[in-house]
Amino acid sequence: MKLQKGFSLIELLITVAIVGILASVALPAYQDHIIRGQLAEATSMLSDARIKMEQYFQDNRTYDTGGGCPGSIATSSKYFDYTCNGLAADTYQITATGKGNLSTYIFSINQNNERSSNTPWGNGACWITSRGGVC
């Protein structure tokens, strides 16, 4: 009697099917995880920019810089662009707008620490950074 060596075609097809099913489940979860990691840049930079705006206010008694964000606030990063809008003596709003595949993500914060977001997962009066539209 001959000893068989190797895999049969059926065994190989079953293995390929199992790997395909696992990949179809894992890949979307991985992509979602990558996006959530990139969104952390925006929320972190906006929080930092808010602190810098408050420091500017303490030094100058106004949020109005005469145009744009104070020099200490970054206007661009790897995944987001940042703008300062509505600068007046007692108000401001800083907005982060996504670049590239994050272009549908917009986060903002104002002088009262009121946060808002506009994402494919939903809009809200908070920073939505995960599926389900919850803060």
pLDDT of residue 3: 75
- Which helix or strand (DSSP H or E) is residue 75 part of? none
Query: Do the domain assignments include residue 130?
Result: no
Query: Do the domain assignments include residue 120?
Result: yes
- Which range, of 6-10, 14-18, 60-64, averages the lowest pLDDT? 6-10
Query: Do the domain assignments include residue 24?
Result: yes
Domain count, the chain: 1
For residue 103, pLDDT over 80 is answered with yes
Q: Indicate whether this model's pTM tops 0.85.
A: no
For residue 1, pLDDT over 70 is answered with no
Q: What angle do CA 44, 48, 50 make, to 5 degrees?
A: 120
Q: Which domain holds residue 28?
A: 9-124
Query: Do the domain assignments include residue 61?
Result: yes
Strands (E), the chain: 80-85, 93-98, 106-110, 115-119, 122-124
Query: Do the domain assignments include residue 27?
Result: yes
Query: Do the domain assignments include residue 103?
Result: yes
Residue 108 main-chain phi, psi, to 5 deg: -145, 160
Structure-token pair, residue 106: 């917009």
pLDDT tens figures, 50-100: 999 999 999 999 998 887 888 788 889 999 999 998 898 999 999 999 999
Query: Do the domain assignments include residue 133?
Result: no
